[in-house]
Amino acid sequence: MQKHNNKIETSNNQNNLSPKKSITTNPIDKSGLVAKINVLGSGMNTGKLAHSSTNYHSEKAYGVVDYASFIKETNEIIKHHTTLRDSLTSFHNMFINRLNANYTALGIINEQSSTIEIKLLDKNANVYSFKVFMSDKENEIIKAIDNDEIRVLASSEFLRIPSLASVPSLIIPIKVQGRTICVALASDHNIQNHVGLYQLTATNMGLLVQNSDLFKKVSQSSSMDGLTNLYSHRRFHELLSQEMAEADANNSNVSVLIFDINNMGQINRDYGHSKGDEVIKVVANKINENIKKQDIAARYGGDKISVILRNMNADEAKYMAEYLTYSLSCCLVDDVGPVNKVSVGIATFPEDSRDKEKLLILAEQAVLVSKSKGYKNGRSTIVSTQDYDFWDDSSLNSFAIVMAKRHSQIGINFEEALVEKFQNENIQSQNHLIEVVTSLASAIDAKDEYTKDHSSSVSRYSVALAKAINLPDKEVERIKLGALLHDIGKIGIPEDVLTKPSRLTDEEFKIIQLHPSIGVEKILEPNPLLHDLIPIVKYHHEQWNGKGYPCQLKGEEIPLAARIVAIADTYHALISDRPYRKGMSVEKACAILEEGAGIQWDKELVRQFISIAPSLATKI
């Protein structure tokens, strides 16, 4: 980036050129702080600065920028935020408050998929996620990277976000050690005067991205978990295999304990994820302090800590578990209190199983049963696989309800139990809601082997289409849930009608047509948290020409989200095997969608979907 007499030199790209433009002089002497900002900014990216050929007129500044305060706040963000996400959010808020920014964004280059994964936040707190392909040489972002230049554009039309189309845009490729690893985007109405400030922040963003990437690589290659300082999940599996082999050779026992912290969702919601991490670390440290030196503690994943107990049978392992849960109950965490809601499951080699995977499944089952049985004397019931007959009717019914929270497909006999459990469930977070919704959808899909994974596939396709048209993240999440539940009303359809291999009679088809209304009345309306999904579930079988069901809506009377799910639903049905035919090719399915565009489905949405359909077979 070249600077002469307070002017910014343009690049020689004719598609990009406009006359040289002066930057309004700042009250702070250019030989002082502003010059340092520009030097710092150019240190990470030595590219040129180009302007668009569209007429661009700098507007009056919203106020004099306090550069010293700006740099101080930047340093505070870097100093106090440990995650990349938190740092970027704080940078965004700083630019909104100080420069009246229209939006900020960061795109991280994914070399494996040759894409740039972009997260954009606007001044109204809307979040947009989308990808740009490196092969799209006409895209303004790719031009900036390929030409190694900072670009100031008169508009943001290239983002394809209507609300932001008319505002100016700044694109800054970010280099670390000579390699472009990400790109920063920003917008405000005095953008030319603020290039140095944005570039300074982009420099820090590049360092944060690089550090985050290095941390991930180190964590992946390391045998230790970064949060708890226990063994990692991968290393746990390696060590368990070794211990089982040694126990087999010595004719001894190995027991596995799994601890699950039950109230983590509430802790994260009430006190924040940093407090939740603190609880996990306290549990991990206390367990590691109180096991024998020969035993092994590891992070099993999420909120779970696992322990390998050498030369211990089930009874001895249960005694150790009781001692550890008592030790945990004596731990106090600020704001949270005692750590006494920890479910514990035990499985023992070789009595329970000689196979490692089955042994772990049994231990996880024991944890779930422990959680379902509640608490005794202030602590969770400790359950060993040898305490429980997992195959009697009572145990299976209890186990099915608990497993519903773990995305299990449990079959049609449990549908009513699932619905009852769902209506009485105390939903604690969005992730908790997704777990239960996914379980319900899986139970419906399990009614017919030919519709296995239908709901999750329709949800994935719907999300892809919603992102392709640049809907905000909140709306994408709503569509994801609505698509998962789009066929939930089939819970009330007789199985002989639902799985009939031959053509339905007129009467049977009328029964099938009831499923959107049944889903709304039986599942969604009783639960206020799901009311905003009603339009998706109720109207996903409406048609553009008004000949759908149940309400014969037409055109744009049909909610956009329902139109999206309708296309995804049809596409998956076309490419899936059925009792009476094999699944169609992607090309054939797209041809059928194209024929019905403007008749059965929204023409523009079909066009967008066909453009992304080939990429849906593989997850980029």
DSSP for 559-605 reads -HHHHHHHHHHHHHHHHS-BTTBPPPPHHHHHHHHHHHBTTTB-HHH
DSSP 175-196: EETTEEEEEEEEE-TTGGGGHH
377 exposure class (CB count in 10 Å sphere: 0-12, 13-18, 19+)? exposed
Q: What is the pLDDT of residue 274?
A: 83
pLDDT digits (tens, 9 = 90+) for 339-350: 778 889 999 999
Asked if 339 contacts 261 with a C-beta cutoff of 8 angstroms, the reply is yes
Least Cα distance to 515 among 500, 497, 529, 528 occurs for: 497
337 exposure class (CB count in 10 Å sphere: 0-12, 13-18, 19+)? exposed
Classified by CATH at the fold level, domain 233-388 comes out as Alpha-Beta Plaits (3.30.70)
Distance (Å, whole) CA 73 – CA 79? 10
Q: What is the pLDDT of residue 84?
A: 77
CB atoms within 10 A of CB 78: 15
Q: Which CATH superfamily is domain 3-219 in?
A: GAF domain (3.30.450.40)
Q: What is the pLDDT of residue 187?
A: 95
Distance (Å, whole) CA 189 – CA 248? 72
Task: Verify cis geometry, omega within 30 degrees of 0, for the bond prior to 350.
Answer: yes
Rounded (5°) CA angle 139-140-144 = 120
Q: What is the pLDDT of residue 219?
A: 53
Through-space distance between the first and last CA atoms of the chain, rounded to whole angstroms? 34
Ranges of the chain with pLDDT below 70: 1-64, 81-82, 213-222, 374-379, 388-425, 439, 442-452, 495-496, 499-502, 578-581, 617-620
Distances (CA, A) of 535 to 298, 419, 551, 558: 45, 20, 11, 9
Tokens 């079988």: give the residue: 541
- Domain-by-domain residue ranges, the chain? 3-219, 233-388, 412-617
Q: Tokens for 14? A: 């004719």
What H or E segment, with its residue span, contains residue 151?
strand 149-153
Q: What is the pLDDT of residue 83?
A: 74
Residues 6+ away with beta carbon under 8 Å from 179: none
Least Cα distance to 567 among 615, 609, 506, 521 occurs for: 609
In DSSP terms, 370 is beta-bridged to none
pLDDT digits (tens, 9 = 90+) for 25-38: 333 343 443 343 34
Could you tell me how many residues make up the chain? 620
Distances (CA, A) of 563 to 279, 461, 520: 44, 12, 17
CB atoms within 10 A of CB 513: 14
Classified by CATH at the fold level, domain 412-617 comes out as Hypothetical protein af1432 (1.10.3210)
